[in-house]
Amino acid sequence: MTTETRPTLSHRQILLLMGGLMTGMLLAALDQTIVGTALPTIVGDLGGLEHYSWVVTAYLLASTASTPLYGKISDLFGRRPVLLFAIATFLVGSLLAGLSQNMPELIATRALQGIGAGGLMTLAFTIVSDVVAPRERARYQGLFGAVFGISSVAGPLVGGYFAEHDWRWIFYINVPLAIFALFVCARVLRLVPHTRREHRIDYLGAVLMVAGSSALLLALSLGGSDGYAWDSAKIIGLLVAFAVLAALFIVVELRAAEPILPMRLFKRATFSLSNTATFILGFAMFGSIIYVPLYLQIVKGATPTRSGLLMLPMMAGVIVTSIVSGRIISKLGRYKWFPVAGTVVMGSGLLLFTSLEVDTPLWQAFIYMTVIGVGLGLAMQPLILAVQNSLELRDMGAGTSAATFFRSLGGSVGVAALGAVMTSKLSGAGGGVSINAPSQVRALPPAQLQMVEHLFVDALHPVFLAAALVALVGTLITLALPDRPLQGATPVESTEPAADMEAKVAAF
């Protein structure tokens, strides 16, 4: 391992920094879920129904494709300016999205938000890894897991509320939060020095990565929708383009002096296995959990706002387990068995959901949600920690952004694959159910509504079964992880004289 040392910050400074990073991460995570609930209202106001899906797709494309770039660029130029750029970009994108007067403007500004969000997600993990040794890092990163838990429920809830009042505040509410994150991170990160070194920017690798990722995400986002059948020339062309661009990217990265994603990292078993498990976790998590609020709305008749509240058991499971497991990992100095247990528990929760019926009581569904939430809390952050523990400080940005990228990519593949499973099941049943319009389903005559409810629930069973089997594969992969101790056996303490440190802290 490298002999580079981490900057030393006091506990108070780390908490201040965590406040800014968590706010930024919450913004990015919320915007993945908050818009979907309000989209029908937005389209009704702005028009342009044909551009409906692009409001979500533009954000997903921009955030996922830009994620790996932030890591490497911050390795070269320092975390502070790159993070501030990401926050400022997200802030401007949010403000302009709220001011949008038509759908093309909203789509463009959502893409701008996505470019900023890509940095907010990956740099939060990277910066914590810069200032905290791996063993102590677990308890801080457990808080990031709590942020994801909050966003998964608060997004639909807040989106539903603003949809009923003024949808533009879905975006305006980001502005004060982004300003807070900008101020805190700008102040605290001044204390984290960056050692400049000679570098070359891998422009060709960056272009190939963005182009390849965009081709794949476009194929996954559009495949199966109207005019974009999976076997259509457009979708096949996008998939072929992705394969060609990915091959070229690997060739370029093997030869580049400063690769965006160093291929040598994949020679490390921990790095490769953790990223594979992260991809699978994203697949099972995003690909299946989106159907839980849909079940609550279509079958149980919950409004979008109420369905968000009904997801609280899952959020509680994620938050509590993320924080508690992070503290335990810090004390033990080991992480392997947490993602193993997490994938097992999550898979069990997904299996429980295969028993859902139209008349399943809500308390029973709450238990299933809690089980899945506990599994996610156990598995999500330790996998990021495992990746970082296998890296030298000079590769921390690139390696951490790779883990974030693979999780997002896994989620995109999961949504597409499990969506295809549901569509196939519904088509085979001949029900013609639209899973995009719960309110329209609930407006059907009673006899027809009952038939649709049963068809929809039957279609959910193979979706959750497939997700559970994927989670089982994740268990097998995490079992193969090397059981290496976390670096850094003692709590992070500052070596500065107390008076100097207090003077710096007081400056805030």
CATH code of the domain covering residue 341: 1.20.1250.20
Which residue has better confidence, 138 or 63? 63
Within-domain flag for 221: yes
Flag whether pLDDT at 272 surpasses 80.
Answer: yes
If one compares 446 and 83, the residue with the highest pLDDT of the two is 83
Angstrom distance (rounded) from CA 480 to CA 468: 19
> pLDDT value at position 487?
66
270 and 221 part of one domain: no
- Supply the range of the domain harboring residue 160: 11-202+257-506
Q: Which residue has the higher pLDDT, 438 or 250?
A: 250
User: Does the pLDDT at position 355 exceed 80?
Assistant: yes
Evaluate whether residue 5 is within a structural domain. no
Give a yes or no: residue 1 inside a domain. no
Residue 293 has pLDDT above 80, yes or no: no
pLDDT for 307 equals 75
Burial of 190 (0-12, 13-18, 19+ CB in 10 A): exposed
Q: Model confidence at 350, in pLDDT bands (50, 70, 90)?
A: very high
pLDDT-based confidence at residue 287 (cuts at 50, 70, 90): low
User: Are both 216 and 274 inside the same structural domain?
Assistant: no
pLDDT of residue 49: 57
Q: What pLDDT does residue 342 have?
A: 92
Locus of tokens 């100095």: 333
Q: Are 372 and 252 found together in one domain?
A: no
pLDDT (mean) for 144-156: 74
Q: Which among 239, 256, 273 is the end of a domain?
A: 256
* The pLDDT of residue 477 is above 90: yes
Measure the CA–CA gap between 308 and 67, rounded to whole angstroms: 28
41 has a pLDDT exceeding 60? yes
176 and 242 within one domain = no
Point out the domain boundary residue: 219, 234, 256: 256
At 225 the three-state DSSP class reads strand
Averaged pLDDT, 298-317: 80
DSSP string, 8-66: ---HHHHHHHHHHHHHHHHHHHHTTTHHHHHHHHHHHHH--GGGTTHHHHHHHHHHHHH
Q: Which of 256, 274, 294 is the last residue of a domain?
A: 256
Domain count for the chain: 2
Residue 3 lies inside a defined structural domain of this protein: no
State pLDDT tens for residues 170-205: 889 888 988 988 888 888 777 666 555 556 677 888
Q: Which residue has the higher pLDDT, 89 or 22?
A: 89
Does residue 129 form part of some domain? yes
Averaging pLDDT over each range in 183-187, 323-327, 354-358, 433-437, which range is the top one? 354-358
* Total Cβ atoms within 10 A of residue 141: 26
pLDDT at residue 476 is higher than 90: yes
**Do 336 and 414 fall within a single domain?**
yes
Domain-embedded: residue 417: yes
Burial of 405 (0-12, 13-18, 19+ CB in 10 A): buried
As a whole number of angstroms, the distance between CA 383 and CA 282 comes to: 12
Q: Tell whether 252 and 335 lie within a shared domain.
A: no
The pLDDT score that the predictor gives to residue 256 is 84
Query: Across residues 220-230, what is the average pLDDT?
Result: 73
Q: Round to whole Å and give the CA distance between 82 and 30.
A: 21
49 and 88 share one domain: yes
358 DSSP assignment: T
pLDDT digit string (tens) for 393-411? Answer: 777 777 877 888 888 788 8
Contact residues for 505 (Cβ-Cβ < 8 A; gap 6+): 10, 12, 13
Please check the confidence at residue 2 and state whether its pLDDT lies above 60: no
Q: Do residues 274 and 403 make contact, with C-beta atoms less than 8 angstroms apart?
A: yes
The tens digit of pLDDT for each residue in 482-508 reads 888 876 543 333 333 333 433 443 343
Q: How many C-beta atoms lie closer than 10 Å to residue 508's C-beta?
A: 11
Q: Please check whether residues 482 and 360 belong to one and the same domain.
A: yes
Q: Is the pLDDT of residue 296 over 50?
A: yes
Distance (Å, rounded) from C-alpha 474 to C-alpha 205? 29
**146 with 261, same domain?**
yes
- Asked if residue 209 and residue 129 are part of one domain, the reply reads no
Range with the lowest mean pLDDT among 45-49, 384-388, 457-461? 45-49
Residue 2 located in a structural domain: no
Domain match, 232 and 125 both: no
What is the pLDDT, as a whole number, of residue 226? 63
Chain-centroid distance of CA 106 in Å reads 22
Given a cut of 90, whether residue 340 has pLDDT beyond it is yes
Residues 215 and 140 in one domain: no
Residues pairing with 225 in the sheet: 228
When mean pLDDT is compared across 198-202, 243-247, 265-269, 359-363, the lowest value belongs to 198-202
Asked which of 45-54, 171-180, 181-190, 327-336 is least confident by mean pLDDT, the reply is 45-54
Q: Tokens for 428?
A: 């085979």
The pLDDT of residue 155 is: 77
Distance CA 211, CA 263 (A): 18
